Structure 1
Amino acid sequence: MGRNPTKTQKKAAFDAWGGTCQHCHLPVKRGDEVYHHIRRRISGQHEPANLLLYHTSCHDQHHGVRRSLSAGTNRADT
């Protein structure tokens, strides 16, 4: 089981969530999406039910970071 979802798995999650951010419930534009695992290291970890769709900024808010996790920074707000 790979750590990251494939393009096919990401597309399936995007379609399953109707292109809607699961944090703010607004439409997500392709290229501004992040896929968040509810649980890791489980069978089916890349299935749409376990792979939430977020805007990049909403995903960062979810994790309480000041800078994008996608950019490699994981400083938490204190």
Structure 2
Amino acid sequence: MSDFHDWDDIRAELHDGDDALEVERARTEAWVSAFHLAEERKRLGLTQREVAELMGVTPRPAVRPRTATWRPTRSRP
């Protein structure tokens, strides 16, 4: 008997009935689409607001991370 395994068998063994692979695939495809849209927007010299208006949607404000409140207790040498 061989120690090698068929890729389809390994995939079936790792895939335990949930749709995590499809969810991740959809998330990745959405990211790629957004990247391509941004690149095309830049190539055409349009702002995000202009693209939103062309698409008939309202531009969402960017979410900014909160400023960290942590301060070091001692300075580095």
Q: TM-score, normalised by structure 1?
A: 0.24
Q: TM-score, normalised by structure 2?
A: 0.25
Where is the strand percentage greater, Structure 1 or Structure 2?
A: 1
